[in-house]
Amino acid sequence: MSSAAHSQHPSVVLTITILASSLAFIDGSVVNVALPALGKSLSADAASLQWIINIYLLPLSALLLLGGAAGDSFGRRRLLVLGILLFAIASVGCSFSTTVATMLTFRLVQGVGAAMLLPNSLAILSGTFSGTAKGRAVGIWAASGAAFGAIGPVLGGWLIDLGSWRSIFLINIPLAAAAIALAWRYIPTDRIEGSSKLDASGGLLATLGLGALTWALTVGSGPSGWTATAAIAAFAGAIALACFVWLEGRRGSSAMMPLQMFASRSFVGLTVFTLLVYGALGVVFVLLPFVLIQMSGYSGTGAGSALLPMPLVMAAGSPFIGPVAARVGARLPLSAGSLLVAVGFCLSFRVTAGADYWRDVLPMILLIAIGMTIAVAPLTTAVLASVDDKHTGSASGFNSAIARLGGLLGTALLGVVFSSQGAELLHAFHAAMLYSGLACLVASIFAFTLIKPAR
C-alpha cells in the first residue's frame, strides 16, 4: 500500500502526528501525579494504583505491532483516526469513573486506542518525508513525545490543585478533535494494494503473556510477596511469551514481530537499551511526584512541575544532538547519555523528607534530562537504520512497544514503594532509584558493545 508520501503539506502532517501521539504520551504520565488523589477518591489500595498505570501500558506494549499491521492492511489514516476517537471516548469514561473497576476498564480502552494511533502516526510520518528530512522529522516526533510525557505531570498537578483529578482526562478532548479534523483534511487516503492476514493470534499471546507476568510482578513486589499464585502466573506468562516467539518464527515475514530483525546485533543492543532506559524513566516519572507529595508536602502543581526541566532541556538540546549523532553515529551518544542518566539517579539520595527543590531535586532532574536529550534524539533513527528496508516499520513499532514495556515492568515492581509510609517510603524510593541507575548503567554497556560504530 502507499503511504502519505504525496502529501502537499508535510509540515501539517508532522503537526498532526505530534498531536495524535501526544495523547498517548501525555496520558502515560499525567496520571502519575494524580495517584494520591485517585487513591483517596476511589478508595484504591497500592496494587490498584499500580494497575491504574499498568492497565494502560499493557495493551500499548502488546498491541502496538498489531496496530501498525492493521494500518498496513486497512489504511493508516483510517486506523489513526479510529485510534484517536477510541482514545477520546475512553478519556471521557475515565473522567466520570466512580470505582476502581470502571477506571481500569476505560484505562484499558485508552491503551488499545493508543496502540492504534501511535504506530500509524509514525508510519504516516515516515511515508511523508524521505532522506535527511525524514531523520529530522522523526527526531522532532520522538523528542516531542518525550517532552509531552514530561509536561503531563505538570498539567495534571495544576488541574488537580484547581479542583478535581477528573479534569486531567478531559484535556485530551480538544487535542483529539484537532488531530481528527486535520488528519481527515490533510493526510491523503491510503491506496491499499493488497492486505495480509493480521497476526491476531500473536497479539493475543503477547497480551496474555505480558498480562500474567505483570500481575505476578505487581503481587510479588507488594507486601504479600511472591505467593504460589503469583509464581504460577509468572510461569504461565513466560510460557505464553515463549509460544508467542515460536509462533512468530513460524509466521516468518508475515509475523507482527519478524524474528529476522534480531539477526542485527545493533537492533538487539538498541532493544535492550530501550527496555532498560525507558523502564528507569518510567519509575522516576511515577515515583518522584508521589514521594514529593507524600513526604515533602508538595502540591500537585509543585510535584508535577518538578519534572518540568526535562521537556525544556530536551526541546532546547535535541536540535543540536541530531546533527552530532549523524556525524559520530548513535553508539557514543546512546552510551554517554544513559551513563549521565545513571549518575542522575544516584543524586536521588539527596531527596529526603522536606526536600528543597533547588538544592535537592533539581540537580537530579537536570542530569537525567541532559542524558535523555543526548540519548533520545538518535534512538529512533538508529533503530530504523539497524534493519533492512522491509523491516523498518516492524522495527520502529517494536521499539516503541519495548519502550512502553519498560515502563510497564518498572511500574509493576513498585508495589513495595506504594505500600510503604514514612521513613520506609523514603528508603524504598531510594532503593528504586538505585536499581534504576544500575539499569541505565547496564544499558550504556549494551549500547557501547552491541551497536555498530559509525563508518
Provide the residue-wise pLDDT of the chain in tens; the chain has 455 residues. 444 445 567 888 888 888 888 888 887 778 878 888 888 889 888 788 888 988 888 888 777 777 877 777 788 888 999 999 999 999 999 999 999 999 999 999 999 999 888 888 878 887 787 777 777 777 778 777 767 776 777 888 888 888 788 888 988 899 899 999 998 888 887 755 555 567 778 878 888 888 888 888 877 777 777 888 888 988 998 999 899 889 888 887 677 777 888 888 888 888 899 999 989 988 888 888 888 988 888 888 888 888 888 878 877 887 777 677 767 777 888 999 999 999 999 999 998 888 889 999 999 999 999 998 898 878 877 887 777 766 666 777 788 778 878 888 888 788 778 778 888 889 989 999 999 999 999 999 988 888 777 66
Cell numbers found for residue 242:
515463549
Cell numbers found for residue 369:
534530562
Give the domain 10-188+258-450 fold: Growth Hormone; Chain: A; (1.20.1250)
Distance CA 288, CA 350 (A): 12
Distance CA 417, CA 32 (A): 14
What DSSP string runs through 274-297? HHHHHHHHHHHHHHHHHHHHHHH-
Distance CA 294, CA 101 (A): 25
Neighbours of 265 (CB within 10 A): 13
Cell numbers found for residue 7:
502529501
The model's pTM is 0.80
Q: Name the 3-class secondary structure at 413.
A: coil
One-letter amino acid of 94: C
List of residues 6+ apart from 248 with CB closer than 8 A: 199, 202, 255, 256, 257, 258, 259
CB 282 within 8 A of CB 407: yes
Distance CA 212, CA 217 (A): 9
